[in-house]
A and B are shown apart, each in its own frame.
Chain A
Amino acid sequence: MTLYKWIFIFGFISFLFSTLYYILKIALKASFNDLSTPKGSLVLGILYSATGAMSPVKKESAYLHLPTYTAGIVYHLGSFLALFWLIIHFFDIQLPSIFSRASSIFLIISAATGFAILIKRITTSKLRLFSNPDDYFSNIIVTGFHLLSSAAILNSSVTPILFIYSGFMLFYIPLGKLRHIIFFVCSRLYLGIFYGKRGVWPPRGRFHEDKE
């Protein structure tokens, strides 16, 4: 195996171990021993937390900020697509050229949305107030990942650079704010438990009027 692939593997393994460490830490410190009597369903609450509650029509953070929300969605889709292509490159899998070209274009678009989000952070005083170097760096490193990934799809000579870059990025993820990818799922889970148990989620609608 080539050196650049080894660098990537090192980054990937360190990411894997860090992820396992955080998940274990959460699991070991988890306490579901809430002694209050439930009013609603935990399961339904969790399901709603991961579905309906995430809907852009339900969240002000989405429907009041549609351009940012859309950019965010495209950006994250781009990240998943770039990760997908990383696997494709690693195992030297051949995909139809139309898919490759479409992926490459999409990754340029997603990088542009990442850049737009970065510009927003730089130019908006309220965001600057609580932004730190890690916030800017995390954006730049992921946006760069999209661009490199796009280039590597079209030109295989870029692939070694992409592997080295990705190895570094994967190593960095658990250290900075990018680790939210590990915690996001747990956040939705805990929020679902909280609102589900209390009968707030899923919204019950007008059940009394329906019953009358």
Chain B
Amino acid sequence: MAKEVSGLQEEDFMKIRNNLITKKEKALKRFVDSINGRLLTHLNSCVHCGLCAETCHYYIATGEERYIPAYKIDQLISIYKRYHTIIGKLIPKWTGARDFNDEAIKEMVDVIFGACTMCGRCSLHCSIGVDIPFIVRTARSMLVELELVPKGLQSTIDAAVETGNNMRISHNELVETLKWLEEDLKMEVNDENACIPLDKKDKHILYTLNPREPKFFPMSISAMAMIFYAADESWTISTKFYDVTNYAYYSGDDDTAGELMERLCNEMGKLNAEILVTAECGHGSRSIRWEGPNWIGRRYPFNVITAVELIAKYIRDGRIKLDPSKNKEVVTLHDPCNLVRSGGVIEEQRYILKNACSNFVEMYPNRENNYCCGGGGGQLSMGEFRDRRIEAGKIKADQIKKTGATIVATPCHNCIDQLIELNKEYNLGVKIKTISEIVADSLIL
């Protein structure tokens, strides 16, 4: 007769146990495979000075010491020391080396997924220059092997893999929404020929969408369509693969991230467009522009630019004319971390807003020193950490309050979602808009 262990038949218990051991081995293997010169350097550089504490919005807002960046990366560094350093192997406690056990994994999930947006502000200000988000993402990739990616984040990725977009929008629903927006555009510009071209070949631009736009924020598509109309641009939207987001970037799952990127590349090839323009989405733009070629292992045969860079170019080239007096309210700008600090799109949005608004004010700190809104790193999809996310967002809420602005512009839909929640939670009384919406409001047609 089979013995019972922890309420399970011994055979089942052994299966689960062996499965877990296999997963841990796979996670450790994933870690070893990812140790390149860059990772090796950063794993050996932290001196535990703790001066990174005040750079992190999680720590400043909550005072929780476990949210200090040095502590977060120590979750992986301690495992590295245990298996890859002499002292860590011989006298683990001396250097804080730890076994990759259940306790370590539990803490890793909590602080690596639940208390970090991988915004990179800590890295920029680190006394040594440790690439903290890089270490955090490596730790996340190990948790992918353990199948411990928080449910909401994983289901967002699964939706993108299964349906082509992270919100499971059906083809019909998308086409109907875009057709409705096209009718709206015709009325708005008073031109029967105005259109939102779908799946057209040989256009100059293939424009991507954040699925949240057709689902919840169709006006940001309208705004961009109006800008394309005003610039007399040759453009199209794919109704098959249009999703600019790539949540596998957040989870650390390079294989899936590459698969999603590959689809977009194939679509570019199929439609024979010249430039891929990423919608206003920070991590999506970063994924496509900077990480994508490395995920798929080859350079793109096309150019990639962000919508913000494109709009700035239209203004500079005189292809669109703006009247700033049409936007009289005080407008401030939130810099999305992935677009600005990790993407180098820093001045373009400022140039646009100064041309599109009569009263633009900066929030401080800004540009590459900005604070994360709290919505990055996949936090918006991880419901289990919602309260923490809102609490950490207080830093951004305070920044916004200090500006006295009534409109917060930001070129990122993740940030928009978080700012909408912060607006409600901290009674900011502001409107949240994309850059293209503000530009569309000031267009001279």
- For B41, give its contact among A37, A53, A186, A200 (CB under 8 Å): A186
Task: State the CA gap A25–B43 with chains docked (Å).
Answer: 13
Asked, given contacts A26-B37, A194-B131, whether A208 binds B351 with beta carbons under 8 Å apart, the answer is: yes
Q: Is the CB of A144 closer than 8 A to any CB of chain B? A: no
- For A27, give its contact among B37, B42, B292 (CB under 8 Å): B37
Determine the chain A residues whose CB is within 8 A of the CB of B289 once the complex forms. Answer: 36
Per-residue CB proximity of A164-192 to B under 8 Å, as 1/0? 00000000000111011011101110110
Per-residue CB proximity of A131-164 to B under 8 Å, as 1/0? 1111101000000000000000000000000000
**Chain A nearest Cβ from B75, distance in angstroms:** 10
Determine the chain B residues whose CB is within 8 A of the CB of A26 once the complex forms. Answer: 37, 40-41
Q: Is the CB of A61 closer than 8 A to any CB of chain B? A: yes
Determine the chain B residues whose CB is within 8 A of the CB of A179 once the complex forms. Answer: 44
Asked, given contacts A130-B48, A180-B47, A190-B38, whether A206 binds B347 with beta carbons under 8 Å apart, the answer is: yes
Specify the chain B residue showing the minimal Cβ separation from A182: B44
Q: Are B51 and A61 in contact (CB under 8 A)?
A: yes
Determine the chain A residues whose CB is within 8 A of the CB of B35 once the complex forms. Answer: 29
The A interface, classified by DSSP as helix, strand, loop or mixed, is helix
Q: Are B50 and A126 in contact (CB under 8 A)?
A: yes
Interface size class of A (residues with CB under 8 A): 35 or more
Determine the chain B residues whose CB is within 8 A of the CB of A206 once the complex forms. Answer: 347, 350
Q: Is the CB of B93 closer than 8 A to any CB of chain A? A: yes
Q: Is the CB of B152 closer than 8 A to any CB of chain A? A: no
Query: B49, B87, B368 — which one has the most chain A CB atoms within 10 A of its CB?
Result: B49
**Chain A nearest Cβ from B22, distance in angstroms:** 26
Q: Are B130 and A129 in contact (CB under 8 A)?
A: no
Determine the chain A residues whose CB is within 8 A of the CB of B55 once the complex forms. Answer: 60-61
Q: Is the CB of A49 closer than 8 A to any CB of chain B? A: yes
Specify the chain A residue showing the minimal Cβ separation from B95: A134
Q: Are B344 and A176 in contact (CB under 8 A)?
A: no
Task: State the CA gap A206–B36 with chains docked (Å).
Answer: 36
Asked, given contacts A72-B127, A187-B129, whether A130 binds B68 with beta carbons under 8 Å apart, the answer is: yes
Q: Is the CB of A64 closer than 8 A to any CB of chain B? A: yes
Within 8 A of A (CB), among B85-101: 85-87, 93-96
B interface size (C-beta, 8 A): 68
Within 8 A of B (CB), among A1-46: 22, 25-31, 34-37, 39-40
Determine the chain B residues whose CB is within 8 A of the CB of A101 once the complex forms. Answer: none
Q: Are B127 and A132 in contact (CB under 8 A)?
A: no
Q: Is the CB of B26 closer than 8 A to any CB of chain A? A: no
Asked, given contacts A30-B38, A187-B41, whether A124 binds B50 with beta carbons under 8 Å apart, the answer is: yes
Q: Are A127 and B344 in contact (CB under 8 A)?
A: no
Determine the chain A residues whose CB is within 8 A of the CB of B351 once the complex forms. Answer: 208-209
Q: Are B87 and A175 in contact (CB under 8 A)?
A: yes
- For A65, give its contact among B51, B300, B348 (CB under 8 Å): B51
Determine the chain A residues whose CB is within 8 A of the CB of B49 once the complex forms. Answer: 61, 68, 72
Q: Is the CB of B240 closer than 8 A to any CB of chain A? A: no
- For A126, give its contact among B42, B68, B292, B294 (CB under 8 Å): B68
**Chain A nearest Cβ from B43, distance in angstroms:** 9
Task: State the CA gap A32–B55 with chains docked (Å).
Answer: 29
Task: State the CA gap A199–B46 with chains docked (Å).
Answer: 25
Q: Is the CB of B405 closer than 8 A to any CB of chain A? A: no
Determine the chain A residues whose CB is within 8 A of the CB of B47 once the complex forms. Answer: 135, 177, 180
Task: State the CA gap A68–B93 with chains docked (Å).
Answer: 27
Determine the chain B residues whose CB is within 8 A of the CB of A135 once the complex forms. Answer: 47-48
**Chain B nearest Cβ from A202, distance in angstroms:** 11
**Chain A nearest Cβ from B241, distance in angstroms:** 20
Q: Are A183 and B290 in contact (CB under 8 A)?
A: no
Task: State the CA gap A59–B298 with chains docked (Å).
Answer: 36
Determine the chain A residues whose CB is within 8 A of the CB of B44 once the complex forms. Answer: 22, 179-180, 182-183
Q: Are A61 and B130 in contact (CB under 8 A)?
A: no
Q: Are A133 and B94 in contact (CB under 8 A)?
A: yes
Task: State the CA gap A183–B131 with chains docked (Å).
Answer: 12
Q: Are B51 and A190 in contact (CB under 8 A)?
A: no
Per-residue CB proximity of B48-89 to A under 8 Å, as 1/0? 111111110000000001101011001000000000011100
Q: Are B42 and A132 in contact (CB under 8 A)?
A: no
Specify the chain A residue showing the minimal Cβ separation from B299: A35
**Chain B nearest Cβ from A139, distance in angstroms:** 10
Task: State the CA gap A133–B346 with chains docked (Å).
Answer: 43
Top 5 nearest A-B pairs (CB, nearest first) are A199-B344, A30-B37, A132-B96, A35-B293, A61-B51
Within 8 A of A (CB), among B282-335: 289-294, 297-300, 303-304, 312, 316
Asked, given contacts A36-B290, A127-B48, A194-B131, whether A177 binds B95 with beta carbons under 8 Å apart, the answer is: yes
Task: State the CA gap A41–B445 with chains docked (Å).
Answer: 38
Q: Are A29 and B37 in contact (CB under 8 A)?
A: yes
Q: Is the CB of A198 closer than 8 A to any CB of chain B? A: yes
Q: Is the CB of B341 closer than 8 A to any CB of chain A? A: yes
Q: Are B36 and A31 in contact (CB under 8 A)?
A: yes
Q: Are B42 and A187 in contact (CB under 8 A)?
A: yes
Determine the chain B residues whose CB is within 8 A of the CB of A131 once the complex forms. Answer: 48, 96
Task: State the CA gap A91–B383 with chains docked (Å).
Answer: 66
Determine the chain B residues whose CB is within 8 A of the CB of A132 once the complex forms. Answer: 48, 93-96
Q: Is the CB of A97 closer than 8 A to any CB of chain B? A: no
